[in-house]
Amino acid sequence: MSAKVPEVVTYVKSREPGGRKDLRYPAAPEALTVGVYDNHAHLEITDGVEPLSLTEQLDRAQAVGVMGVVQASGDIESSRWAVDAAASDPRVLAAIAIHPNDAPVYAEAGQLDHAISVIDELAAHPRVRAIGETGLDFFRTEADRHAPQFESFEAHIALAKKHGIAMQIHDRDAHDAVLETLARVGAPQTTVFHCFSGDDAMAKICADAGYYLSFAGNLTFKNAQNLRDALKVTPIDRILIETDAPFLTPVPLRGRPNAPYLIAHTLRFMASELALDVDELATRIAANTLAVYGSFTD
């Protein structure tokens, strides 16, 4: 592919007091013998003292068995970046959307309809394989600003159906509202809960509805027993894995910048929790990822 590789954006918020303890990217883990895909990352953001280009991120990932990355978005600019990245490198597929926390900002500027129309236009690109991340976030957005989130979420559901592609859901402190909206409006045929944050009861509801659950590095955190319980009740054909890089760096590297090449730590932890061979779990997760997004090389 001949498209120009987009520049990364330096992310500096985590360098403020109380943020990252160590801004050096960690050493690479032992390479996987069966490759997997990172279901959700933000490669436009580099979160370390060593800025990494898109190509450097992907090369590091490929060297340890991460064969591709779904580049997720949250606004017009990052959605355009995702399309450019996917067009420039066959190891990237794009997911595009207006993030639920950004929906009120666009709405208050009278720009939400326009923003969604841009996502609609970009979704026609053949390397766009998902609408996301979209959903509801009641943690960072005040109750009196929830209405634009619902409006945006329902519009994104319609776009995923229109374009016949998957949808990646952001759900933070909004489990019941997300599930109710999906039931009321009708979920797209392929629906993924990015960085699943519920418990085992919610995981069973999602599995019964045919949704995919994507687990990130926070699964390894000491206080995340609810996620480990959820993983154990999720059918293996509904499990995905992600980094949400540069966020949610897994134990034992918590406090350092995250990147797709570190996904092996989470995968090996998941295999241990499920009492499965790492290669077996990697094989199943890779197949699930391709079932959701299609081939990375098409």
- pLDDT tens digit string along 194-235? 999 999 999 999 999 999 999 999 999 999 999 999 999 999
Binned at pLDDT 50, 70 and 90, residue 3 comes out as low
C-alpha closest to that of 92 among 60, 122, 127, 63: 127
Residue 20 in domain:
no
Residue 246 in domain:
yes
Binned at pLDDT 50, 70 and 90, residue 8 comes out as low
C-alpha closest to that of 296 among 59, 86, 1: 86
The answer on pLDDT for 11 being more than 60 is no
Residue 117 in domain:
yes
The answer on pLDDT for 5 being more than 70 is no
Query: How many Å apart are CA 296 and CA 298, to the nearest integer?
Result: 6
Binned at pLDDT 50, 70 and 90, residue 97 comes out as very high
Tell me phi and psi for residue 288, to 5 degrees: -60, -45
Angle at 150 between CA 147 and CA 154, to 5 degrees: 145
Q: Indicate the average pLDDT of the chain.
A: 93
Residue 194 in domain:
yes
Number of structural domains in the chain:
1
The answer on pLDDT for 15 being more than 50 is no
Average pLDDT over residues 1-17: 54
Residue 49 in domain:
yes
pLDDT of amino acid 143:
85
Residue 7 in domain:
no
- Give the range of the structural domain holding residue 202, as residue numbers without chain letter: 32-293
C-alpha closest to that of 259 among 15, 82, 60, 20: 60
- Token output for 73: 């978005």
Is the Cβ–Cβ distance between 267 and 281 less than 8 Å? Answer: yes
Average pLDDT over residues 69-98: 97
Please spell the DSSP secondary structure of 255-268, one letter per residue.
Answer: TS---GGGHHHHHH
Is the Cβ–Cβ distance between 278 and 268 less than 8 Å? Answer: yes
- No. of H helices and E strands in the chain? 10, 10
- Residue 277: HSE in the Cβ half-sphere, 13 Å Cα cutoff: 6
CATH, residue 271: 3.20.20.140
Residue 165 in domain:
yes
Is the Cβ–Cβ distance between 130 and 168 less than 8 Å? Answer: yes
The answer on pLDDT for 162 being more than 90 is yes
Residue 230 in domain:
yes
Is the Cβ–Cβ distance between 72 and 85 less than 8 Å? Answer: no
